[in-house]
Amino acid sequence: MKPHLIMILALAFITVATIESKAQSPADVLKRGSNVTFFGVDFSKCKGVALGVSAEEMRDNYFPAINTLLMVEQNKFDIRKYLMKSDVINTLYDVNKGNQTLDVANFDVYSIKEVKPLSEDTIAKMIEQYDLKDKTGDGLVFIAESLDKTGNFGTYYLVYFTMPEGKVIVSEKVSGKPQGFGVRNYWAYTIYDILKSDLQERLELIHLSKNRK
């Protein structure tokens, strides 16, 4: 074999090995003591079940207010504590931008039966819309599927993904009970309810046990 072909093959092998070494697994993103960038709550594909509040109000007022509350009251909505992280960087730019694309004409539904689960492909495409080119490490976002006033719960997907690639590593459906006065506090509490419910342990049990089999 000619020397230059050997060199090309060697470089190709090194490139593949480097890519594989950077590949993230559930064990990597769920690792206790690791760092994460928290993107807030993505409501862009959410449905509202008998909310009693217009889709426009939710999009323009309450979705931004809920995300802002998560940042202002970090001692309560403590991602670092509940997901056992060393450091958390917060950014709302991408979800605030995406939430403005909410399909207000189809946001309101009368029954939870009208809400279709978000597919893996849909979630992946949502993450692809984020501007990750200048970011590295692990990203975390809650993607809202529904806010159900009749059933008294909010349903989300907790999603870990790589940056800057935007590859989804963990996607887990979770739900929490609302509580509090006012629309903002009422629905923001669902995130708190999810976080304080031994969330890290449940994620480890589901995703790490699965990989050991």
> For the segment 162-191, what is each residue's pLDDT rounded down to a tens digit?
999 999 999 999 999 999 999 999 999 999
In a domain, 110, yes or no: yes
Residue 2 forms part of a structural domain: no
Q: What pLDDT, on a 0 to 100 scale, did the predictor assign at position 209?
A: 81
| Predicted confidence band of residue 24 (pLDDT cuts 50, 70, 90) | confident
Q: Do the beta carbons of residue 151 and residue 168 sit within 8 Å?
A: no
**Mean predicted confidence (pLDDT) in 89-106:** 98
| pTM (predicted TM-score) | 0.88
pLDDT, position 1? 56
In a domain, 164, yes or no: yes
Residue 55: pLDDT over 80: yes
Quick check: is 12 in a domain?
A: no
Q: Which residue range forms the structural domain that includes residue 102?
A: 31-212
**CA nearest to 157, candidates 104, 117, 114, 97:** 117
Q: What is the pLDDT of residue 150?
A: 96
Structure-token pair, residue 195: 């976080």
Judge whether 26 lies within some domain.
no
Work out how many domains the chain is built from and give that number: 1
Give yes or no for residue 11 having a pLDDT over 80. no
User: What DSSP state is assigned to residue 106?
Assistant: G
Task: Please give the span between the terminal C-alpha atoms of the chain, in angstroms, as a whole number.
Answer: 43
Please indicate whether residue 212 or residue 14 has the higher confidence score (pLDDT).
212
